[in-house]
Structure 1
Amino acid sequence: MASDPSGSNGIEARRASAVTFASRLVFDDIHHSYHNKDTIRGLSLTAEPGEVLCLLGPSGSGKTTLLRIAAGIEAQTRGRVLLDDREIAGPDVFLPPERRGVGLMFQDFALFPHMSVLDNVRFGLTALPRAEAEAEANVALDRVGLSHYAAKFPHMLSGGEQQRVALARALAPRPSVLLMDEPFSGLDSRLKDSIRADTLAILRKSRASAIVVTHDAEEAMRMGDRIALLKDGRLVQVGTAEDLYLKPKDIFAAAFFSEINEFPGHVRGGVVETPLGNVDGKDFTDGQKVHVAVRLTGIRVQETGGDTPARILSRRFLGVVELLELAVNGTDRPVRARVRADQLPAGLRDVTLSANQRDILVFEKDG
């Protein structure tokens, strides 16, 4: 006789698998406004099954609003949200959060202080009988390595452990898409690297698609299979970390992924004159106004032998590197550079600069 999937054998089978079937989540021409102010403006984006997609951008770019629309906490004013080609929010459909199969992990973890760790994780499993819900909660706690803390209360845990409890609670219902709103922002900077790595490993093991909101470009590059960069409610660029770093679409994208010096310029005879020398401008029309971006790490500073004379205005020791501000002819703003901390002698003032061509980016003035 076949075993009852709702009985102990079924629980053990689910415990053995403890995985999720990933889904595709599609934002189709999403618009959103709040108090007559547009917060998202015609944004289309797809999170592919099993991938970690990072929503990156400054405050007010629409990242969290887009996450809340996917979760069903907010409603878009126009456009559709689809889960595996099934419309879950649109002109004629609006599924409530509990019917979407989407998990949401809040920025502040939102753990209930009066509940044990096990009961916090079990909280989202109210549709199951108590014994089965507890079994599922224990599976989720085991997945994040906290099964031995099941009887403790949130205040007895460290920030990193609370973060993992919140992750376990979000994963317990086996969502096909997990939404995470700046999940590491409240953690000690010394813990972030290890907690991010642990979280990424758990996401890979659970096989859920994940959308992670962050304002930190390095965090997005560490976690994301792809990154969607937002600004003022619009999608600026989407791609891998290499795509966005090496081939930024505009100067906003370039500045978001690396510290840059910016110079205005004109294309004359196929070149652009900058305070750091001439730059190739053959991809632009003669006379066109452009922005030139030079990464701080792409400027070589040496006593002699460089292309451009400069004077050191300030040096800031940052451990492995020094941050320099330099006076250069042709610009009223100091040119910044990052160099190895042991590279230049103490007290040195007059130096020369050379820019690595790979770290110079040229963009249309209005691009």
Structure 2
Amino acid sequence: MTFAARLTFDNIQHRYHHRETIRNLSLSVEPGEVLCLLGPSGSGKTTLLRIAAGIEAQSAGRLLLNDREIAGPSAFLPPERRGIGLMFQDFALFPHMTILDNVRYGLTALPKAEARAEALNALDRVGLAHYAEKYPHALSGGEQQRVALARALAPRPGVLLMDEPFSGLDSRLKDSIRADTLAILREARATAIVVTHDAEEAMRMADRIALLRDGKLVQVGTSDDLYRKPVDIFTASFFSEINLFEGRVERGRVKTPLGEFDASTYADGQRLDVAVRLSSVNVLEEGGAVPARVISRRFLGVVEFFMLAVPGSDQPVRARIRADLVPPGLRDVTLSVNERDILLFEKAGDSD
């Protein structure tokens, strides 16, 4: 069993060539929790992981493991003394070593026989003990990923760091390998930080998600929190495709090309950004509140993707609906939107 630890980033700052890459970021990962660091390329996810591992030093702030400072003004523990494991994106298996020797590589503090037993136990945990004497080239990408996970877990780290661990896998394998990895982490009771740029992957794996942008923490919470209660347009658009409109509050309502919606929590005259998820737009043969014309439609299997022209909008409205609901060849349709799916945000920089 892994001895799960709490890892705390306390007001972390980092600069690279005079450019701020991490900006006053504070975040805690609880024992046994799986936290995903999510964000676009360049948001600071991997830098934060490297700081946690001890590969990179922060410019300011502290890193605490179980409330003990391991990097900061008072201390800087080298990577090998932190009790933090790191699983690389490319797995980094040694091609000239057997699978068993790869897993045993980080167990140098143990006697040889005990290290072998621990390595075999870690391989058994990921279902690959029968490959112990094979070499990495004989294994599939998914199997190599599980070996890398076994190697990272073998020393029983307090925290396991995983840098986009599924990015090199075939898309057909990702779902099953991801599910297997999560099951292994749960069984090991490991504290884990997983870096990804894929919102769906984060939602599938994480107890909580920390969304980063330009080195700043935008929002942290459960997948439900970030999807249903995004703090801004960036968060909303990161978790789903949206149609975006501008509107002004009048008598507690905001008007858009897709209809009027409740805005009673905002002051009259306030300008708003109104976000409507593609999945929230219903395309109907008749009976909808808004007339529309089909510009194009694409069959995507389970769903169809529509581009639609509507009165009052210079930009096409996009929609994803279940396939075969709209008769083929139909040009003139109607649209409806469920008001509970509308997301309202105060317009950035509005001083009216």
Query: What's 1:84 paired with?
Result: 66
The reply on whether 1:223 has 2:244 as its aligned counterpart is no
Query: What's 1:71 paired with?
Result: 53
Question: Which of 159, 162, 168 is matched with 1:186 structurally?
Answer: 168
> How big is the shift at 1:329?
1.4
> How big is the shift at 1:221?
0.6
Query: What's 1:301 paired with?
Result: 283
Q: Please tell me the residue identity of whatever aligns with 1:102.
A: I
Post-superposition Cα deviations, 1:111-130, rounded to whole Å, max 9, x if no partner, equal 11111111111111112222
Query: What's 2:250 paired with?
Result: 268
The reply on whether 1:149 has 2:156 as its aligned counterpart is no
Q: Please tell me the residue identity of whatever aligns with 1:118.
A: L
The reply on whether 1:209 has 2:173 as its aligned counterpart is no
Question: Which of 14, 21, 34 is matched with 2:16 structurally?
Answer: 34
Post-superposition Cα deviations, 1:217-260, rounded to whole Å, max 9, x if no partner, equal 11111100011111111111111111111111111111111111
In structure 2, C-alpha distance between the alignment counterparts of 1:29 and 1:130, rounded to whole Å: 42
- Aligned to 2:133, the other structure's residue is in SS state coil
Query: What's 2:25 paired with?
Result: 43
Query: What's 1:124 paired with?
Result: 106
> How big is the shift at 1:301?
0.7
The reply on whether 1:245 has 2:227 as its aligned counterpart is yes
Q: Please tell me the residue identity of whatever aligns with 2:283.
A: V
Structure 1: give runs of 5+ residues left out of the alignment: 1-18
- Aligned to 2:100, the other structure's residue is in SS state helix
Q: Please tell me the residue identity of whatever aligns with 1:309.
A: P
The reply on whether 1:199 has 2:184 as its aligned counterpart is no
Query: What's 1:15 paired with?
Result: none
- Aligned to 1:306, the other structure's residue is in SS state coil
- Aligned to 2:162, the other structure's residue is in SS state strand
Q: Please tell me the residue identity of whatever aligns with 1:269.
A: R
In structure 1, C-alpha distance between the alignment counterparts of 2:31 and 2:127, rounded to whole Å: 25
Q: Could you state the TM-score of these two structures normalised by the residue count of structure 2?
A: 0.98
Q: Please tell me the residue identity of whatever aligns with 2:187.
A: K
> How big is the shift at 1:303?
1.3
Percent identity (aligned): 76
Post-superposition Cα deviations, 1:48-81, rounded to whole Å, max 9, x if no partner, equal 0001001111111111100110000000000000
> How big is the shift at 1:264?
1.4
- Aligned to 2:287, the other structure's residue is in SS state coil
Q: Please tell me the residue identity of whatever aligns with 1:199.
A: T
- Aligned to 1:323, the other structure's residue is in SS state strand
Post-superposition Cα deviations, 1:181-230, rounded to whole Å, max 9, x if no partner, equal 00001111111111111000100111110000111111111100011111
Aligned pairs for 1:274-353 within 5 A: 274-353=256-335
> How big is the shift at 1:163?
0.2
Q: Please tell me the residue identity of whatever aligns with 1:283.
A: T
- Aligned to 2:286, the other structure's residue is in SS state coil
In structure 2, C-alpha distance between the alignment counterparts of 1:210 and 1:347, rounded to whole Å: 50
Post-superposition Cα deviations, 1:276-306, rounded to whole Å, max 9, x if no partner, equal 0111111112211211100111111111110
> How big is the shift at 1:135?
1.1
Q: Could you state the TM-score of these two structures normalised by the residue count of structure 1?
A: 0.94
In structure 2, C-alpha distance between the alignment counterparts of 1:90 and 1:285, rounded to whole Å: 46
- Aligned to 1:342, the other structure's residue is in SS state coil
Question: Which of 83, 100, 104 is matched with 1:101 structurally?
Answer: 83
Query: What's 1:257 paired with?
Result: 239
Return 304-313 or 279-288, whichever deviates more: 279-288
Return 348-357 or 127-136, whichever deviates more: 127-136
In structure 2, C-alpha distance between the alignment counterparts of 1:344 and 1:157, rounded to whole Å: 47
Q: Please tell me the residue identity of whatever aligns with 1:268.
A: E
- Aligned to 1:285, the other structure's residue is in SS state coil
In structure 2, C-alpha distance between the alignment counterparts of 1:334 and 1:187, rounded to whole Å: 35
Query: What's 1:10 paired with?
Result: none
In structure 2, C-alpha distance between the alignment counterparts of 1:128 and 1:254, rounded to whole Å: 49
Where in structure 1 do 4 or more consecutive aligned residues deviate above 3 Å? none
In structure 1, C-alpha distance between the alignment counterparts of 2:218 and 2:333, rounded to whole Å: 38
- Aligned to 1:183, the other structure's residue is in SS state coil
In structure 2, C-alpha distance between the alignment counterparts of 1:100 and 1:284, rounded to whole Å: 49
> How big is the shift at 1:92?
2.4
Aligned residue pairs total 349
In structure 2, C-alpha distance between the alignment counterparts of 1:40 and 1:80, rounded to whole Å: 13
In structure 1, C-alpha distance between the alignment counterparts of 2:347 and 2:24, rounded to whole Å: 24
In structure 2, C-alpha distance between the alignment counterparts of 1:63 and 1:358, rounded to whole Å: 33
- Aligned to 1:70, the other structure's residue is in SS state helix
In structure 1, C-alpha distance between the alignment counterparts of 2:137 and 2:269, rounded to whole Å: 64
- Aligned to 1:222, the other structure's residue is in SS state helix
